[in-house]
Amino acid sequence: MKLISLLWSVSLLAVALSRNIDIEDSELEAAEFVRELDHELNTIVNKDTEAGWAYASNITDANELLKNEASAETGKFIKEVSEKVNKYDWVNFKDQDLKRQMSKLAKQGYAALPEEKYKELLSLMSGMEASFAKVKVCDYKDRTKCDLSLEPEIEAVITTSRDPEELKYYWVEFYNAFKSVREPFERYIELNTEAAKLNNYTSGAEDWLSEYEDDTFEQQLENIFDEIRPLYEQLHGYVRWRLRKFYGNKVVSEKGPIPMHLLGNMWAQTWGEIASIISPFPEKPLIDVSDEMVRQGITPKKMFEMGDDFFTSLNLIKLPQTFWDKSILEKPTDGRDLICHASAWDFYKKDDVRIKQCTRVTQDQLFTVHHELGHIQYFLQYQNQPHVYRTGANPGFHEAVGDVLSLSVSTPRHLQKIGLLKDYKPDEEAKINQLFLKALDKIAFLPFAFTMDKYRWALFRGEVKKDRWNCAFWRLREEYSGIEPPVVRSEDDFDAPAKYHVSADVEYLRYLVSFIIQFQFYKSACIKANQYEAGNPELPLDNCDFYGNAEAGKAFEAMLKMGASKPWPDAMEVFTGERKMTGKAIAEYFAPLTQWLEVENKKNNVFIGWTKSDKCRGSK
Ligand SMILES: *[C@@H]1O[C@H](CO)[C@@H](O)[C@H](O)[C@H]1NC(C)=O
Ligand SMILES: *[C@@H]1O[C@H](CO)[C@@H](O)[C@H](O)[C@H]1NC(C)=O
Ligand SMILES: [Zn+2]
At CA 371, angle to CA 367 and CA 372, rounded to 5?
A: 120
Closest ligand 2 atom, residue 200 Cα: 1
Annotated catalytic residue, options 155, 478, 501, 557: 501
CA distance 443 to 269: 10
- The pLDDT value recorded for residue 327 is 98
- The pLDDT value recorded for residue 610 is 98
Give residue 131 CA to ligand 2 midpoint distance, Å: 35
Contact 102, 88 (CB under 8 A): yes
In DSSP terms, 259 is beta-bridged to: 484
Peptide bond into 230 cis (omega under 30): no
Contacts 24+ apart (CB under 8 A), 567-575: 567/213, 567/393, 568/212, 568/213, 568/393, 568/394, 568/397, 570/393, 571/393, 571/397, 572/393, 572/397, 572/517, 572/520, 575/521, 575/524
Contact 329, 300 (CB under 8 A): yes
**372 carries an active-site annotation:** yes
In terms of Cβ atoms closer than 10 Å to its own Cβ (0-12, 13-18, 19+), residue 302 is middle
Q: What global pTM score does this model have?
A: 0.94
Tell me which of 7-16, 103-112, 201-210, 225-234 is least confident.
7-16
Give residue 191 CA to ligand 2 midpoint distance, Å: 18
Ligand 2 in reach of 113 Cβ (< 6 A):
no
Instruction: Give residues whose Cβ lies within 5 Å of ion ligand 3.
Output: 399
Ligand 2 in reach of 86 Cβ (< 6 A):
yes
Report the residue among 60, 69, 333 best suited for mutation to probe ligand 1: largest number of ligand atoms under 8 A from its CB. 60
Annotated catalytic residue, options 64, 273, 372, 557: 372
Give residue 474 CA to ligand 2 midpoint distance, Å: 37
CA distance 34 to 22: 19
**Over 90: is that where the pLDDT of 2 sits?**
no
The DSSP string of 537-590 is TTS-GGG---TT-HHHHHHHHHHHTTTTSS-HHHHHHHHHS--S--SHHHHHHH
Quote the strand ranges of 249-365, DSSP E. Answer: 258-259, 343-346, 353-356
**Over 80: is that where the pLDDT of 532 sits?**
yes
In DSSP terms, 346 is beta-bridged to: 353
Contact 487, 615 (CB under 8 A): yes
- The pLDDT value recorded for residue 23 is 67
pLDDT, mean of residues 272-293: 95
pLDDT more than 70, % of the chain? 96
Report the residue among 90, 200, 202, 206 best suited for mutation to probe ligand 2: largest number of ligand atoms under 8 A from its CB. 200
- The pLDDT value recorded for residue 620 is 52
pLDDT, mean of residues 233-237: 98
Q: Which ligand approaches the C-alpha of residue 392 most closely?
A: 3
- The pLDDT value recorded for residue 21 is 54
Tens of pLDDT, residue by residue over 400-435, are: 999 999 999 999 999 999 999 998 988 999 999 999
Ligand 2 in reach of 384 Cβ (< 6 A):
no
Greatest Cα pair distance, the chain, in angstroms, is 83
Contact 541, 411 (CB under 8 A): no
- The pLDDT value recorded for residue 175 is 98
Tens of pLDDT, residue by residue over 591-608, are: 999 999 999 999 999 999
Ligand 2 in reach of 57 Cβ (< 6 A):
no
Stretch (H or E) spanning 428: helix 428-442
pLDDT band at 285; cut points 50, 70, 90: confident
**Over 90: is that where the pLDDT of 618 sits?**
no
Tens of pLDDT, residue by residue over 536-587, are: 999 999 999 999 999 999 999 999 999 999 999 999 999 999 999 999 999 9
Tens of pLDDT, residue by residue over 340-381, are: 999 999 999 999 999 999 999 999 999 999 999 999 999 999
**Over 80: is that where the pLDDT of 61 sits?**
yes
The DSSP string of 211-229 is GG--TTHHHHHHHHHHHHH
Contact 388, 105 (CB under 8 A): yes
pLDDT, mean of residues 455-471: 98
pLDDT, mean of residues 253-259: 98
Using CA positions, which residue lies closest to atom 13 of ligand 2? Answer: 199
Tell me which of 23-32, 299-308, 514-523, 588-597 is least confident.
23-32
- The pLDDT value recorded for residue 20 is 46
**Over 80: is that where the pLDDT of 16 sits?**
no
Give residue 119 CA to ligand 2 midpoint distance, Å: 22
Ligand 2 in reach of 160 Cβ (< 6 A):
no
CA proximity to 399, closest of 324, 356, 344, 346: 344
Using CA positions, which residue lies closest to atom 14 of ligand 1? Answer: 58
Give residue 83 CA to ligand 2 midpoint distance, Å: 9
List Cβ neighbours of 473 (8 Å cut-off, separation of 6 or more).
Answer: 455, 495, 496
CA distance 364 to 353: 23
pLDDT band at 40; cut points 50, 70, 90: very high
Pairing relation of β-strands 258-259 and 483-484? parallel
CA proximity to 87, closest of 21, 186, 2: 21
pLDDT band at 24; cut points 50, 70, 90: confident
Ligand 2 in reach of 199 Cβ (< 6 A):
yes
Closest ligand 2 atom, residue 86 Cα: 9
The letter for the amino acid at 157 is V
| Pocket of ligand 1, beta carbon within 6 A | 58, 60, 62-63, 334, 336
In terms of Cβ atoms closer than 10 Å to its own Cβ (0-12, 13-18, 19+), residue 354 is buried
pLDDT band at 17; cut points 50, 70, 90: very low
Using CA positions, which residue lies closest to atom 2 of ligand 2? Answer: 200
**414 carries an active-site annotation:** no
pLDDT, mean of residues 485-496: 98
CA proximity to 610, closest of 241, 264, 276: 241
In terms of Cβ atoms closer than 10 Å to its own Cβ (0-12, 13-18, 19+), residue 451 is buried
Using CA atoms, how far residue 299 sits from 287, 353, 359, 439, in Å, is: 20, 21, 9, 28
Give residue 600 CA to ligand 3 midpoint distance, Å: 35
Dihedral class, residue 284 (left if φ above 0, else alpha if ψ from -120 to 50, else beta): beta
List Cβ neighbours of 277 (8 Å cut-off, separation of 6 or more).
Answer: 162, 242, 243, 246
- The pLDDT value recorded for residue 426 is 86
CA distance 124 to 147: 25
pLDDT, mean of residues 232-241: 98
Using CA positions, which residue lies closest to atom 10 of ligand 1? Answer: 58
Mean residue pLDDT across the chain: 95
pLDDT, mean of residues 523-527: 98
More confident residue, 4 or 32: 32
Give residue 113 CA to ligand 2 midpoint distance, Å: 13
CA 225, 231, 234, 238 dihedral sign is: negative
